[in-house]
Amino acid sequence: MSRVAYVNGQYIRHKDAAVHVEDRGYQFADGVYEVCEVWNGQIVDMPRHLDRLDRSLRELRIDWPMSRQAMEFVVSEVVRRNMVHNGIVYVQVTRGVAKRDHFFPGSDVAPSVVVTARSASPAVAAAQAEKGIAVVTYPENRWPRVDIKTVALLPNVLAKQNAKENGGKEAWYVDTDGNVTEGGSTNAWIVTKDGVLVTRPAESGILKGITRAVVLDLVAREGISFEERPFSLEEALEAREAFVTAASTLVMPVVRIDDTVVGNGHPGSVATRLRDAFHTATDLKAVVA
Ligand code: PLP
C-alpha cells in the first residue's frame, strides 16, 4: 500500500505530495502544526489538539483553512487511508502561497494545509521506555513565543542534533536562570529526591503540551504529590526520576542528563505508572476503516 497525503483539498500519493516554492511555510516558517498520536486505531485527544491549533492560528492571524468539522474529517481520513493503527498524524497550516514579501498577503490568499500520517511500532516505543533515554542540555536560545506551535523549529533541530551527537535522544533547554524549560520536542518533568513530581508552569518558556495536560489530569486523579514550578538543572541532576512527555513519545523516562545518571539509572516508578495509565485519561476517537 502506498502512503497518501492530504494537500490543499486533495488526497495524493505521499511521494508526489508537494507545496508551491512560494509557500510562506517554506520561505518564512510562517505556519503552525499539530501532531496527534494514533493508538489502537483511535486518534488521541483530537479536540485538545484542534483547540491548540485554533489558538496558534489566532496568535499568528492565520485563518482556518476549513471548518473544524472538516478538519476532523480530513485528519481521520488521512489516518484511515494510510491504514495507521498505531503512529502519528501531522497537520500543518501555513499562511499560503504568495509572492515573497514579508508583509501578510491579501485576503485572497488562502492558507495551505497538509495532513500526513505514519505508522510507528508500539513495541519499539515500549522497549525504549523500558530502558529510558539520555538527554543533553543546551542553552535556551529560542524566541519568547514558544507557546505557539509554529513550524519555525530550527533551534530545536540544532539542539536535538547536538543531543544525538552526544549520545542523547532529546535536548533539555536550560535558561539563563539555570532552569530547565523543556525538551526540543517534549515537556520536561522530574520527581525530586523528596518524591515530589515537578514540571514548569506553561505560562512562559514552554509549549503547553497536550500530553502534559493529560498527565496533569492523571496526577490529580491518582493523588500523586505534585508542584507546578520551575526547576533548575541542579535539582534535576539530584532528582529521583525524570521524564519527558509528547504525543509522539507519551511518557518517556529519562535515565541520564549529560553525564549524570538519574536516580538508580532505571526508569522510575512514577514515570512508569503514568505511562501505563496514560490512555485511561485521553479522549479517543475511533477511525472507521
Ligand atoms: N514542547 C515542544 C517544544 C514540542 O515540540 C512538543 C511536541 O511537539 C511538546 C513540548 C509536547 O507537546 P505535545 O504533548 O502536545 O505533543
Provide the CATH number for the domain around residue 44: 3.30.470.10
Mean per-residue pLDDT of the chain = 98
Distance of CA 11 to the CA centre of its chain: 25
Report CA(162)–ligand 1 centroid distance (Å): 18
**Are 136 and 80 contained in the same domain?**
no
**Are 62 and 160 contained in the same domain?**
no
Distance CA 178, CA 230 (A): 10
**25 within a domain of the structure (yes/no):** yes
Q: Which of 104, 120, 136 is the last residue of a domain?
A: 120
pLDDT, position 256: 98
Q: Which residues line ligand 1 (CB under 6 A)?
A: 35, 182, 185-187, 207, 209-212, 245-247
Cell of 76: 481521520
**Are 185 and 271 contained in the same domain?**
yes
CATH number for the domain that contains residue 146 = 3.20.10.10
Which one of 207, 215, 279, 283 would you pick to mutate in the ligand 1 pocket, going by the greatest count of ligand atoms within 8 A of its CB?
207
At 148, the amino acid letter reads I
Pick the atom of ligand 1 nearest to 214's CA. Answer: 14
For the segment 262-288, the average pLDDT, to the nearest whole number, is: 97
Nearest CA to ligand 1 atom 8: 185
**157 within a domain of the structure (yes/no):** yes
Set 149, 160, 169, 285: catalytic member = 149
Angle at 25 between CA 248 and CA 181, to 5 degrees: 45
**pLDDT tens sequence across 220-253:** 999 999 999 999 999 999 999 999 999 999 999 9
For the segment 67-89, the average pLDDT, to the nearest whole number, is: 98
For the segment 2-24, the average pLDDT, to the nearest whole number, is: 97
**87 within a domain of the structure (yes/no):** yes
Which one of 187, 214, 244 would you pick to mutate in the ligand 1 pocket, going by the greatest count of ligand atoms within 8 A of its CB?
187
**205 within a domain of the structure (yes/no):** yes
**185 within a domain of the structure (yes/no):** yes
**Are 173 and 270 contained in the same domain?**
yes
Q: Which of 91, 120, 149 is the last residue of a domain?
A: 120
Domain that holds residue 258: 125-278
**Are 104 and 157 contained in the same domain?**
no
Which one of 45, 46, 185, 204 would you pick to mutate in the ligand 1 pocket, going by the greatest count of ligand atoms within 8 A of its CB?
185
Cell of 240: 529521583
pLDDT, position 288: 85
pLDDT, position 32: 99
**pLDDT tens sequence across 115-168:** 999 999 999 999 999 999 999 999 999 999 999 999 999 999 999 999 999 999
pLDDT, position 2: 87
208 is catalytic: no
**Are 56 and 177 contained in the same domain?**
no
Report CA(31)–ligand 1 centroid distance (Å): 16
**Are 148 and 77 contained in the same domain?**
no
**Are 104 and 139 contained in the same domain?**
no
**Are 133 and 267 contained in the same domain?**
yes
Report CA(106)–ligand 1 centroid distance (Å): 31
The pTM score is: 0.98
For the segment 38-60, the average pLDDT, to the nearest whole number, is: 98
**Are 133 and 104 contained in the same domain?**
no
**Beta bridge mates, 34:** 91
Percentage, residues of the chain above pLDDT 70: 100
**Are 142 and 112 contained in the same domain?**
no
Instruction: Tell me which residue has cell 482556518.
Output: 64
Smallest CA-to-CA distance from 185 within 142, 232, 227 is with 142
pLDDT, position 42: 98
Residue 273 pLDDT more than 80?
yes
**Are 15 and 135 contained in the same domain?**
no
Report CA(1)–ligand 1 centroid distance (Å): 30
Directed axis angle between helix 68-81 and helix 46-60, to 10°? 120
Q: Report strand pairing: 250-257 vs 197-199.
A: unpaired
Report CA(240)–ligand 1 centroid distance (Å): 23
**286 within a domain of the structure (yes/no):** no
Q: Which of 99, 120, 141 is the last residue of a domain?
A: 120
Percentage, residues of the chain above pLDDT 90: 99
**Burial (CB count within 10 angstroms: exposed 0-12, middle 13-18, buried 19+), residue 160:** buried
For the chain, what is the domain count?
A: 2
Half-sphere exposure of 6 (CA within 13 A, CB side): 26
Q: What SS3 string covers the chain?
A: CCCEEEECCEEEEHHHCCCCCCEHHHHHCCEEEEEEEEECCEEECHHHHHHHHHHHHHHHCCCCCCCHHHHHHHHHHHHHHCCCCCEEEEEEEECCECCCCCCCCCCCCCCEEEEEEEECCHHHHHHHHHHCEEEEEEECCCCCCCCCCECCCHHHHHHHHHHHHCCCCEEEEECCCCEEEEECCCEEEEECCCCCEEECCCCCCCCCCHHHHHHHHHHHHHCCCEEECCEEHHHHHCCCEEEEEECCCEEEEEEEECCEECCCCCCCHHHHHHHHHHHHHCCEEECCC
- pLDDT bin (cut points 50, 70, 90) of residue 107 is very high
**287 within a domain of the structure (yes/no):** no
Residue 83 pLDDT more than 90?
yes
Contact call for residues 168 and 184 (beta carbons, < 8 A): no
- pLDDT bin (cut points 50, 70, 90) of residue 289 is confident
